[in-house]
Amino acid sequence: MSSELFEQAARSVVDADVEEAKKLANQALEEDIPPLEMIEEGFTSGIVEVGRLFDRGELFLPQLMGCAEAMKEASGILKEAAAAAGEETAEDIEIVLGTVEGDVHDIGKGIVASILEANGIKVHDLGTDVPTNEFIEKAKEVDADVIGTSALLTTTMGANEDLIKTLEEENLRDRFKVVVGGGPVTERWADKIDADGYAENANEAVRVIQDLAN
Amino acid sequence: MVQTRMGDGMKIEMSEDEIREDIVRGVEDAVDRAKIDTLPQEEIDYLTDLYTRPSKFVSVEPGNEVVLTFDEGSVKLKRLVISIGRIPDLQIYERVFCSDTAELAHVDYSFKPVKPIIAEEQIEMEQALLSTILPLYYGAMPNLSLYSQPDGEFPNPAELLPKGKIDEAQKAYEGMIEHGIKDMVFVSSKMYEAGADGINFDTTGSAGEPDFLAALRATEKLKEKYPDISIEMGMSNEFVLGMHGDLEYEGTNLAGLYPHEQVKMAEKAGVDVFGPVVNINSSESIPWNIGRTVAMMKACAEEADIPVHANVGMGVGGVPIVETPPADSLCRASVALAEIGKQDGL
Amino acid sequence: MVISHALASGMGGVRTTGDLVARLQMSEGMRIEEAKEYVADKLDVDIADMSDPVIMDEVRKEYGIGRVQPAAGEPKGMEAKMNIAELLDIKINSVENFKDKTS
C-alpha cells in the first residue's frame, strides 16, 4: 500500500500538482507512514525524476518551479509532523550562489538555483558579477555549507581560484565547501584549483552538493 | 592501447574495445535523449577505426570534402591579441585559411549593440565586399538576455523564475521577443542593403526558446522583405532550453527540440543553412562524445531539406572544451561529421 | 583550429571551389552533392578535381573568378565576383549593388 502511495507522491511532484502532493502527504500521516520515509521514498523520487527530465529537455523551467512548489509544500507538512513526533530531521543545506566577478551571465546560474531549491537546498543567490569578498561575507553571515560559483567565460574562470585562495588566507577554507561550474569549467580545472566539487550541469550540482554537505 | 582524450582535453589511453564501447554508449545516449535512429554497425566500425588510428592527424577521402564556414571570423584574430582590422582579418580567412565563407561581426556580437553603429558596420561591409571574393555573412547573436534588466527594460526572467514568478517571467520574455525581432530585422536589413551575402543568426537559443522564436520570426520577416536574402541559423545548445515553456512555432512547442526537430522549424521560417550544436560532456571520453554527436548530427542532416553545417569547435561537435582544441581530436571530429554525420558543411 | 578543419575536411575556398559551392548552398539551398555537381558542370570540371588546387587554380585563372595568389591585372575582389555571378548564373547581392551604383 505504501509503495503505491510513494509512487503517487512522486507522480504528484513530476506533475507539479501541489494540491495532490499536499493531500498525499496528509494521507501518509493518516496511514501512519513515517513522514521521513514518505519524503525520501515518495516525494524525493519525484524531484529526482524532475531533474532527470529537465536535463534531457523534456521538462522546462516554469514547470520545474511548479514541481518544486509541490515538493516544498508536501515536505513542509511531513517535516512538521516528524518534528512534532520528535523525529530528527536533517538540517537544510544552505548554499551561497553567484556568477563570479566580471561575468554577467545569469541564465545557467538561475537554472542551478531553481533545481537546488526544488531539491530542498536553501539558496542565497547573489546574482552576477559577484566579488570574491561578497561570496565570503554572505557565507559567513548565513553560515552556509557551500559556496557555489558559476563562470561562463574562460576569462572569468580565474575568479574561482581567487575565492579558494582568499578562503585559505582568511582561515575559512575548512568552513565552506566550494563547488564550481559553468560552460568552460571542467573537473580537471576544479581539481587544479583545489575546489571541493565540480558539477557538469544543474542536476549533477544537486548530487555533488548533497554529498559534500552530508 | 591508443591515445585519446577526455571531453576536457586530458590525454588518456584506452584499448580498442574500450573505445568501441564508449562510442556505442555515446550513440545510445543520443538515441535515448533525442529519440533518433541508432548508427548501423559499419558506421560504429568506421568511427572505431577513426579513433583508434595512431596517427596524429586524419582527413576525409578525396571527394568527401565539405564547405567550411567560420562564425564570428572577423573578430577571432583580434582575440588572439593580434592588432588587426576586420577587413585584413577577413582577407586572411579567405586567402590564408581558405575558408569557404567568412563573417563580418562586431566585437559585441549581438544585434542590439550594433543598432547605434549600423552606418559604420555598413561601410565596413561595403569595403570588405570590394576586396574579397568569398561569400560574406554579417553575423551576430539574437542574445535576448540584453533586453532584460539591467541591460534592457523588461524584468529579468532569470531572476523571476527561481522565485517562482512564472507569469511575470513569461510576460517579460514575450516583450523581449518583440524587441529582439525588431533589432534583428533592422540590423539585418541594413547589412543586406550594404551588400552582405547572408545574415548569420548565431548562438540562437542561448536565452532559451524565446530566443529561438525571435530568430525564427525575424527570419520570416526578412524573407518577406528580401526574398533573395540568405539566412544561416546556428544554435547554442543540443536541445532548446525551455525558459518560457509555452512558446509554439507553427503549432510546435519549441522547448526541448533536438537538432533534427529544430531544423524543421528553421526550414519553415525560411532559413537557408542550419547550424546544429551537440554539446560536449567534459567528464566523458571523446569517443563517447563523438558517438552521440555523430548520431544526433546525422539525424539532423537526414531530416533536413536545407544544407546543414554542424558547429565543431571548443566544447561542441566532439571537440574538447579547451581554448586550444588539440588537432588530433579536432581533425577526427571534422572527418567523422563529414563522412558519417552527413553534414553539408562545418 | 581553422587550419585543422581546412586540412581535415575543407573544400579549399578560393584555392579550389569551396567559395563557389558555398554560394550555391547559401543562395539556392542546395545540399553538398547537388551544389558540387552544379559548380562542376558550370566550370566543366570533374567533381573529383574540385578540391585539387593545381587543377582549380588554372581553372579559376581561366575564368577570371579570382585566385588565392593573383597576378597583376587579374580579376580580384568585386571584379572576380562579377565573373562568378555570370559563370554560375546566380545573383550576388554585392555585385547587384555595384552594378546599380555604377551603371
ipTM of the complex: 0.96
Per-residue pLDDT band at B159 (split at 50, 70, 90): confident
Residue A19, in any domain of the structure: yes
The residue out of A39, A54, A84 marking a domain boundary is: A84
Q: A179 and A111: one domain? A: yes
Contact B267, B233 (CB under 8 A): no
Number of domains, chain A? 2
Q: A124 and A201: one domain? A: yes
Instruction: Find chain B residues with C-beta within 8 A of C50's C-beta.
Output: 65
Q: How far away is chain C from the Cα of B110, in angstroms, using its nearest Cα?
A: 22
**SS3 assignment for chain A:** CHHHHHHHHHHHHHCCCHHHHHHHHHHHHHCCCCHHHHHHHHHHHHHHHHHHHHHCCCCCHHHHHHHHHHHHHHHHHHHHHHHHCCCCCCCCCEEEEEEECCCCCCHHHHHHHHHHHHCCCEEEECCCCECHHHHHHHHHHHCCCEEEEECCCCCCCHHHHHHHHHHHHCCCCCCCEEEEECCCCCHHHHHHCCCCEECCCHHHHHHHHHHHHC
Residue A112, in any domain of the structure: yes
Of C11, C31, C78, the CB nearest to B68: C11
pLDDT given at position A201 = 85
Per-residue pLDDT band at A109 (split at 50, 70, 90): confident
The separation between CA B89 and the C-alpha centre of its own chain, rounded to angstroms, equals 21
Determine the average pLDDT of the residues in B214-233: 97
Determine the average pLDDT of the residues in C20-27: 97
Q: How far away is chain B from the Cα of C103, in angstroms, using its nearest Cα?
A: 16
Between chains, do B145 and A58 touch, taking CB under 8 Å as contact? no
Q: Which CATH architecture has domain B66-275?
A: Alpha-Beta Barrel (3.20)
Q: A119 and A186: one domain? A: yes
DSSP state string for B68-134: ---TTHHHHHHHTT----HHHHHHHHHHTS--SSEEE--TT-BHHHHGGGHHHHHHHHHHHHHS--S
Q: A79 and A105: one domain? A: no
Between chains, do B242 and A69 touch, taking CB under 8 Å as contact? no
Residue A163, in any domain of the structure: yes
Q: A112 and A156: one domain? A: yes
Which among B325, B296, B162 is positioned nearest to B237, based on CA atoms?
Answer: B296
A116/B contact by beta carbon, under 8 A: no
Res A213 pLDDT > 90: no
Determine the average pLDDT of the residues in B87-105: 94
Q: A9 and A109: one domain? A: no
Between chains, do C68 and B95 touch, taking CB under 8 Å as contact? yes
Distance CA A97, CA A115 (A): 12
How much of chain B, in percent, has pLDDT values that exceed 90?
91
Between chains, do B242 and A60 touch, taking CB under 8 Å as contact? yes
Residue A39, in any domain of the structure: yes
Contact B229, B195 (CB under 8 A): no
Domain of A29 in residue numbering reads as 2-84
Q: A110 and A137: one domain? A: yes
Of C32, C50, C80, the CB nearest to B344: C32
The residue out of A43, A66, A84 marking a domain boundary is: A84
Per-residue pLDDT band at A90 (split at 50, 70, 90): low
Per-residue pLDDT band at B219 (split at 50, 70, 90): very high
pLDDT tens for residues A30-79? 999 999 899 989 999 998 899 889 888 899 988 988 898 899 899 989 98
Task: Mutate one of B56, B82, B98, B138 to test the C interface: name it (highest C CB count within 10 A).
Answer: B98
Between chains, do A107 and B164 touch, taking CB under 8 Å as contact? no
Grid look-up 521577443 returns: B177
Domain boundaries, chain B: 66-275
Q: How far away is chain A from the Cα of B72, in angstroms, using its nearest Cα?
A: 17
Res C82 pLDDT > 80: yes
Instruction: Find chain B residues with C-beta within 8 A of A117's C-beta.
Output: 162
Determine the average pLDDT of the residues in B318-332: 93
| Residues in a beta bridge with B110 | B141
Q: A75 and A142: one domain? A: no
Touch of C by A (3+ CB pairs closer than 8 Å): no
